[in-house]
Structure 1
Amino acid sequence: MHSNTGKSLFKYAMTAKNTFILALVMLAIGVAAELAGPFIARSMIDDHMLAIEQPFNETSIQGEQTVSFDNRYFKRGDRLADGEAKGNEVRILQVGSSFVFIDSAVSDITGKRSYADGIMTLDKKGVITDYPAQKLSATELFSFYKPEIPGIFTLVGWYLCFLAISILMEFGKTYWLQSSANKVIQKLRMDVYAHIQRLPVHFFDNLPAGKVVSRVTNDTEAVKDLFIAVLSNFFSGIINMIGVYIALFLLDVRLGLICLFIVPIIWIWVVLYRKFATKYNTIIRSRLSEINAIINESIQGMSIIRIFRREPQTKEEFENLNNDYMKHQNKMLNLNSFTSHNLVNVIRSFSFAVVLWYFGSAQLNGTGIISLGVLYAFVDVLGRLFQPMTGMVNQLAALDSSMVSAGRVFALMDEPGEDVTDGSMPRYKGNVEFKDVSFAYKQDYVLKNITFKAKQGQTVALVGHTGSGKSSIINLLFRFYDPQKGTITIDGQNVRDLPKQWIREHMGIVLQDPYLFTGTIASNVSLGDDKISRATIEKALEDVGATRILSHLPKGLDEPVVEKGSTLSAGERQLISFARALAFDPAILILDEATANIDTETEALIQSALEVLKRGRTTFIIAHRLSTIRSADQILVLHRGQIVEQGTHEELLAHGGRYYQMYRLQLGSSEVLVSAGNPATV
């Protein structure tokens, strides 16, 4: 996996930092609003529901906070105003499911309580105290609760208010987080695609198209899941857990310290999980990439597969990949099953057991060291700790898969690309010179000490057997590669000193098997270049003689072209690529056996058009049919990467060397002799 994936992801996240920060602020506010609930519950229990056991004082002042009982008025001691006279103290205490009224002060209410025959007995570790008491009816008990109702309603109101804030913040957080993630992935995809455009041509020699497509689509989509689902859950989880621990320590420091043991357990869990998951996910993403590659290759070669009846073998190859993919998916499934949220449940149960054992037992024994309200709020808050934890654990698989995918994307972007230079250069004349050029794709030299000159307006033909180095010379001319030795100049300037885009701006090429893009005939001629007008497109097509041949198409220049131009004949595709090269008005024109797929009548048409169009341009022709290059100003005969013969058609025939032999094999000895103007017999 890419070593700095985290840093690279952070850099991309910073491109949408404002919305990410907004989402995190809303998340923090939402968490705070949600965690207000247990504190409100604590206040409701301790300050209102259980506060009935606090001391009451008799008072003569009537009001909303006073209780009328037995023709007397009472008020909670903590609610007496400054300077207000304190009357006799009384207590309301719970015994079992009933409440009793004690008309005196009670110094300590902890201990085991019992009531019988108007006496309440308090047993505290063997020390027994009796208090005269009166059992309260439901109506009498309610009169003591009545002053608490406004406070309870106020707290309920606050709870609803915080709930509304929490819902609003959750919506905002989700919207802005997803919006940020979409923005980041949009930029990432654009950058990946732009980088692919900058990668050197030789990079694609060893990487199938399907694998590149998988990086741009599947892997970036997985990174999108990282930003939307995974980071959302992890950000939410971490902020929730921080909020929960703050709440736990605010409720009770001892309880908070006891619950800190959860953090290292989760950390160790995540580290161990990722150790195994990364290994599996790397293979899974690689297999998915290979599956895409084989599908892409099968679709493109479907006709060959069917003609040679290779369907069973292709299917078997696909099944083997697919089975291996499923095998590792099942390994991930097993890993996720063993490390699912069941562990969270175990930790949660253990935490609750510790808290209830340590504090709850003391409360039940009557020796409570925290209030019931605090205990209730603590258990509530502690329960909320495990919700984000479960969310984080459930996203571990997606986290690891996304990180592996991100690593693959950034590894592709780390591949050295070619610098893209803005601007352009004036159209050069096209005087090309190769001087002692030697070149190797890997180790063995495929071109050795190549030296020749091509002047403006000249036509240079490259002939030779397959592998002799013809295409390599063109690759060097386009600067798809640079030679290891020697220099190549255009108009006296070393091509290494010029940006590649500038050189290529004034070059045109027609391949033996032309590539057409999805669009129309017109868009395939202009390739979407605004500088090429409709009139230029029409003239280019007319000049190569395509107008008559393409006239049968219903929509003319706007006839739709599917990928690779498969609905057009080979000749029609070739004519369109001819028009494309000529529409760009290149100074250097390369024809890679451009007339090989064209019938004799069309070839004659193109040959006559080319004679006019080649004027003023330097034209390089890679030729297999030697009859097409008789008029070339210079013919270079290549053999095993070297120029073994050089001259015009007539000169080379007269020389009687390798070119003569090749020409003889193609046309027959009698025609060779006539062509050479040599009356001798062979």
Structure 2
Amino acid sequence: MNEHLEQTESSWKTGKRLYQYAVKCKGTIILALMMLSISVGADLIGPYIGKNMIDNHIMGIESPWVETKDTKDAVHYQGSTYKREAYVEDGEWTGSEVAIQQVGTTFLFLNQPIEFDGKRSYKDGQLVITSGEKRATYEAQKLSGAQIMAFYQPEISRIMQLLALYFGIMVVAFFFQYGQSYYLQKAANRIIQTMRKDVFAQIQRLPIRYFDNLPAGKVVARITNDTEAIRELYVRVLANFFSSTVNIIGIIIALFLLNVKLGMVTLIILPLLVGWTLLFRKFATKYNRVIRARISDINAMINESINGMNIIQAFKREKETTEEFEKLNTEHYVYQSKMQKLNSLLNGNLVGALRVITLTLFIWYFGGMAASGESVVSLGVLYAMVNYLNRLFHPISGIVNQFANFEQAMVAGERVFALLDEEGIDVEDQRKSRFKGHVEFDHVSFSYKEGEKVLRDIQFEASQGETIALVGHTGSGKSSIMNLLFRFYDYQEGAIRIDGIELKDIPHQTLREHMGIVLQDPYLFTGTILSNITLDDPKISREVAEKALRDVGADRVLAHLEHGFDEPVVEKGSTLSSGQRQLISFARALAFNPAILILDEATSSIDTETESLIQEAMEVLKKGRTTFIIAHRLSTIKSADQILVLDKGKIVERGNHDELMELKGKYYQMYELQIGKLAG
């Protein structure tokens, strides 16, 4: 019970937010729905035109006829002129009333009107009509084919007019149907464009901590698959629900106008439809949640497998990876099958059951009337009723068949809005003059998980223009210090200050505007070498970017490329060597001219020749800025002003290279081990 209430509440909240997105395009949506209403209304006029054509014109030949002198719409028969009573105007009626009756395929002319209608039979020039115990006999003359066509002649022009009217209405219906489809899709595309923009903007607002436990593939699924499912809600589900609702209401009104009792019978369908909907949603929401989750898991695994394909193949993990993928794929298939069974059981059978129930009641009612000899409906009314009853099940089927898409959209909406509701960091336009670069860590402690400290009581100062090196074994806390300095994470204890200002008091974007970073594994974006330097920042001109590349020696390493600095770069720069990628990353940092520079093991994966180029460029790069270097190659930090040795989240040694070598502690041991002179 509680689960059902939570599901209902969640669906209500999701629906409300989807409505809020729709409001942004309300003008287009309202226009589309108005055009849809006109299209549906025009389409519903068709059976009424058919009824009118049958009763008033095709079967109208059996209506009362009178003798007249007027020749318009009149028929000449046996020396007299006859005209349908419906077409006679005042003063035209000059003779007696006559009748035309049909028995099978035979048409008969009677010199008198009939008293009542019922079962007809014709033999030897006499027409016999019986209704229950009543019986009447009339003298009748059989009409030839030409005479029948003569009596039909006044109706042909009217039938053609009705056909033209019907055709015109269908053209109008087609025009408005096209218009509603175009504008509804236009609105849906605009809504999804806005939603995707919001989701992508939200991703960039989220703290790094959020992505620690959420694979990239799952995030991609939220932006692409889930928003596409929501798009179906606006394009198909909304249009189908609205048009079907208008259709059902219009058909029920039409049936009430034709026959009140039949209209009452069709109202039974509505509570059945509501009950069936609630039953469907009870299971569909649960299944769709699992389906959407497995799609995200599959996307995440595919993304991970592609990125790590060299490792998978190198370590012969293809079989295990395939089995892991197949497990996710099988679970997705199982729940898709459950959803398909639910659709087949409830959706298809629902429409079939309602159709049988309604038509059975219809036959029972009108068949009973005919059997009892009571007055029955005309052929035109019967045609309209059957037509409307058949039409009634198309919109019902349309609604029912969209239940699955509706549930998918609601579940997808929950997932998208859950991402949008994550607490993010607002982008601020606040600008601050360039930092001097004085950095102070004041008894800082930090943990990624509560109760598991990775930094303990970190305290040091870095003056403007100094180079600070951080060394230590893996897991000692070097990268965590840089994460705090960049505010990728916030510390729990102590304080970090830049130029005397508490780090937490500086907006993230303002802080990072004056900081640069070069990672161990540099990340390059799809574009060109030059665009990876400027990152499309208008403040960095081509000249500045090219100078930065020359300063780090990239002009020598990249000289062989066909397009030079305009050489295309594919995803992650996979066509470039690690040294080339690192030089581009260095040039990027130099072009942005940061006050504080962080080199996160930037030379650990570079060959000796390229490292010498970078070492030369680093001397230029470090001038006028405070530099933090995380290094495994201790030979690259011998000139650092201050070296901090970390162990298990604490600073255990500090000083310059010579001071630490004299101390003969951890730094000395690491240095001697690297150069191969560790004393036995």
Matched, 1:146 2:149: no
In 2, the alpha carbon distance for the partners of 1:591 and 1:251 equals: 83
* Kept in 1: contact 2:437–2:595 (CA 8 A): yes
Tell me which residue corresponds to 2:206: 199
1:598 to 599, 606, 619: 606
The one-letter amino acid paired with 1:19 is: T
Tell me which residue corresponds to 1:676: none
1:111 to 98, 118, 124: 118
Tell me which residue corresponds to 1:679: none
Q: How has the CA–CA distance of structure 1 residues 110 and 576 changed in structure 2, closer, same or farther, with 3 Å as cutoff?
A: same
In 2, the alpha carbon distance for the partners of 1:514 and 1:14 equals: 43
Deviations 1:97-144 (A, max 9, x none): 4333332344x4233333344443333321333333333333333333
Greater mean deviation of Cα atoms: 82-91 or 258-267: 82-91
* Kept in 1: contact 2:120–2:130 (CA 8 A): yes
Deviations 1:42-85 (A, max 9, x none): 111222223333333333x3132333222223333333324555
Tell me which residue corresponds to 2:353: 346
2:292 to 271, 275, 285: 285
Greater mean deviation of Cα atoms: 35-44 or 136-145: 136-145
User: How far off is 1:360 after superposition?
Assistant: 4.4
* Kept in 2: contact 1:110–1:366 (CA 8 A): no
In 2, the alpha carbon distance for the partners of 1:85 and 1:545 equals: 111
Deviations 1:241-264 (A, max 9, x none): 222222222222222111111222
Tell me which residue corresponds to 2:3: none
The one-letter amino acid paired with 2:611 is: E
Tell me which residue corresponds to 1:674: none
Matched residue SS, 2:496:
strand
Tell me which residue corresponds to 2:440: 433
The one-letter amino acid paired with 1:635 is: I
The one-letter amino acid paired with 2:70 is: Q
Note the residue ranges of structure 2 that are not aligned, 5 or more in a row: 1-6
Matched residue SS, 2:21:
helix
| 1:87-236 map, 5 Å | 87-106=95-114, 108-236=115-243
Tell me which residue corresponds to 2:369: 362
Q: How has the CA–CA distance of structure 1 residues 114 and 553 changed in structure 2, closer, same or farther, with 3 Å as cutoff?
A: closer
* Kept in 1: contact 2:71–2:81 (CA 8 A): no
Deviations 1:523-553 (A, max 9, x none): 2222222221222112112222222222222
In 2, the alpha carbon distance for the partners of 1:96 and 1:523 equals: 86
In 1, the alpha carbon distance for the partners of 2:334 and 2:253 equals: 44
Tell me which residue corresponds to 2:61: 52
In 2, the alpha carbon distance for the partners of 1:480 and 1:580 equals: 20
1:36 to 34, 42, 45: 45
Matched residue SS, 1:441:
strand
User: How far off is 1:460 after superposition?
Assistant: 1.5
Greater mean deviation of Cα atoms: 550-559 or 159-168: 550-559
* Kept in 1: contact 2:517–2:598 (CA 8 A): yes
Deviations 1:593-638 (A, max 9, x none): 2121223343333333322331210111112222322222222222
In 2, the alpha carbon distance for the partners of 1:207 and 1:288 equals: 14
In 2, the alpha carbon distance for the partners of 1:393 and 1:456 equals: 70
* Kept in 1: contact 2:66–2:93 (CA 8 A): no
Tell me which residue corresponds to 1:23: 32
User: How far off is 1:587 after superposition?
Assistant: 0.3
Matched, 1:559 2:572: no
Report the TM-score when normalising by structure 2. 0.93
In 1, the alpha carbon distance for the partners of 2:71 and 2:273 equals: 54
Matched residue SS, 1:416:
coil
User: How far off is 1:389 after superposition?
Assistant: 2.3
In 1, the alpha carbon distance for the partners of 2:434 and 2:628 equals: 18
2:468 to 428, 445, 460: 460
Greater mean deviation of Cα atoms: 117-126 or 477-486: 117-126
In 2, the alpha carbon distance for the partners of 1:324 and 1:212 equals: 20
Matched, 1:80 2:88: yes
2:275 to 251, 268, 271: 268
User: How far off is 1:340 after superposition?
Assistant: 4.2
Greater mean deviation of Cα atoms: 577-586 or 395-404: 395-404
In 1, the alpha carbon distance for the partners of 2:135 and 2:611 equals: 121
* Kept in 1: contact 2:132–2:373 (CA 8 A): no
Matched residue SS, 2:316:
coil
In 1, the alpha carbon distance for the partners of 2:107 and 2:387 equals: 27
Greater mean deviation of Cα atoms: 448-457 or 502-511: 448-457
Tell me which residue corresponds to 1:607: 615
* Kept in 1: contact 2:669–2:678 (CA 8 A): no
In 1, the alpha carbon distance for the partners of 2:364 and 2:283 equals: 37
In 1, the alpha carbon distance for the partners of 2:147 and 2:374 equals: 29
* Kept in 1: contact 2:298–2:328 (CA 8 A): yes
Tell me which residue corresponds to 1:373: 380
In 1, the alpha carbon distance for the partners of 2:434 and 2:189 equals: 43
In 1, the alpha carbon distance for the partners of 2:553 and 2:215 equals: 37
Greater mean deviation of Cα atoms: 523-532 or 385-394: 385-394
| 1:562-641 map, 5 Å | 562-641=570-649
In 1, the alpha carbon distance for the partners of 2:319 and 2:121 equals: 87
The one-letter amino acid paired with 1:17 is: K
Q: How has the CA–CA distance of structure 1 residues 126 and 670 changed in structure 2, closer, same or farther, with 3 Å as cutoff?
A: closer
Matched, 1:69 2:77: yes
Q: How has the CA–CA distance of structure 1 residues 116 and 549 changed in structure 2, closer, same or farther, with 3 Å as cutoff?
A: closer
In 1, the alpha carbon distance for the partners of 2:368 and 2:109 equals: 27
The one-letter amino acid paired with 2:630 is: I
User: How far off is 1:158 after superposition?
Assistant: 0.8
The one-letter amino acid paired with 1:516 is: L
User: How far off is 1:91 after superposition?
Assistant: 2.4
In 2, the alpha carbon distance for the partners of 1:115 and 1:441 equals: 100
Matched residue SS, 2:25:
helix
The one-letter amino acid paired with 1:619 is: T
| 1:395-406 map, 5 Å | 395-406=402-413
User: How far off is 1:420 after superposition?
Assistant: 1.0
User: How far off is 1:291 after superposition?
Assistant: 1.6
Tell me which residue corresponds to 1:385: 392
In 1, the alpha carbon distance for the partners of 2:366 and 2:107 equals: 25
Matched residue SS, 1:48:
helix
Note the residue ranges of structure 1 that are not aligned, 5 or more in a row: 672-681
Greater mean deviation of Cα atoms: 638-647 or 297-306: 638-647
User: How far off is 1:462 after superposition?
Assistant: 1.6
The one-letter amino acid paired with 2:320 is: Q
In 1, the alpha carbon distance for the partners of 2:561 and 2:161 equals: 80
Greater mean deviation of Cα atoms: 253-262 or 224-233: 224-233
Greater mean deviation of Cα atoms: 619-628 or 574-583: 619-628
* Kept in 2: contact 1:439–1:448 (CA 8 A): yes
User: How far off is 1:204 after superposition?
Assistant: 0.9
* Kept in 1: contact 2:70–2:92 (CA 8 A): no
* Kept in 2: contact 1:112–1:366 (CA 8 A): no
Matched residue SS, 1:418:
coil
Matched residue SS, 2:300:
helix
* Kept in 2: contact 1:446–1:641 (CA 8 A): yes
* Kept in 2: contact 1:360–1:375 (CA 8 A): no
User: How far off is 1:200 after superposition?
Assistant: 1.1
Greater mean deviation of Cα atoms: 274-283 or 579-588: 274-283
In 1, the alpha carbon distance for the partners of 2:251 and 2:282 equals: 29
Matched, 1:317 2:319: no
In 2, the alpha carbon distance for the partners of 1:595 and 1:43 equals: 89
| 1:649-664 map, 5 Å | 649-664=657-672
Q: Please report the RMSD computed on the Cα atoms of aligned residues, expressed in angstroms.
A: 2.3
Matched residue SS, 2:293:
helix
Matched, 1:513 2:525: no
Tell me which residue corresponds to 2:22: 13
Greater mean deviation of Cα atoms: 599-608 or 570-579: 599-608
Q: How has the CA–CA distance of structure 1 residues 105 and 322 changed in structure 2, closer, same or farther, with 3 Å as cutoff?
A: closer
Matched residue SS, 2:301:
helix
Greater mean deviation of Cα atoms: 357-366 or 550-559: 357-366
In 2, the alpha carbon distance for the partners of 1:192 and 1:497 equals: 27
Greater mean deviation of Cα atoms: 74-83 or 199-208: 74-83
